Amino acid sequence: MTKDSVVRARIETSLKTNVEDIFSRIGLSTTDAITLFFHQVQLRRGLPFPVELPNETTLQTFAETDRGENLNRYDSVDDVFKKIGL
């Protein structure tokens, strides 16, 4: 199919930079990622992920981790699995 439409959006520069870095690491351009997103919306006839407000426990966890509290640190993936009992 011919790509002849343009999508324009204004977003924060830091968000764009950070997301484009992630796209680059997985081999996607911004255009590829937007096209993928649009195809998923079309296929699912809605957003391809749940959109919901975080509950009180999640908000508390976000606040704690933002302050550097209640974080678990691991030396390796093997250490993670060992500490969770796998």
Give per-residue pLDDT as tens, 59-80. Answer: 999 999 999 999 988 999 999 9
Tally of domains in the chain: 2
Q: How far is CA 18 from CA 22, 30, 55, 63, 71, in A?
A: 7, 12, 26, 22, 23
Work out the average pLDDT over 20-28.
96
Residues 4 and 42 in one domain: yes
Tokens representing 55 are: 């509950």
Residues 45 and 19 in one domain: yes
Q: How confident is the model at residue 45 (pLDDT cuts 50, 70, 90)?
A: very high
Residues 37 and 58 in one domain: no
Q: What is the pLDDT, as a whole number, of residue 2?
A: 87
Residues 4 and 19 in one domain: yes
Residues 69 and 46 in one domain: no
CA distance 67 to 60: 11
Percent of all residues in the chain with a pLDDT value above 90, rounded to a whole number:
86
0.75 surpassed by pTM: no
**Do 66 and 59 contact (CB within 8 A), yes or no?**
no
Residues 61 and 85 in one domain: yes
Helix, strand, coil shares, percent, the chain, to 5: 55, 0, 45
Residues 73 and 32 in one domain: no
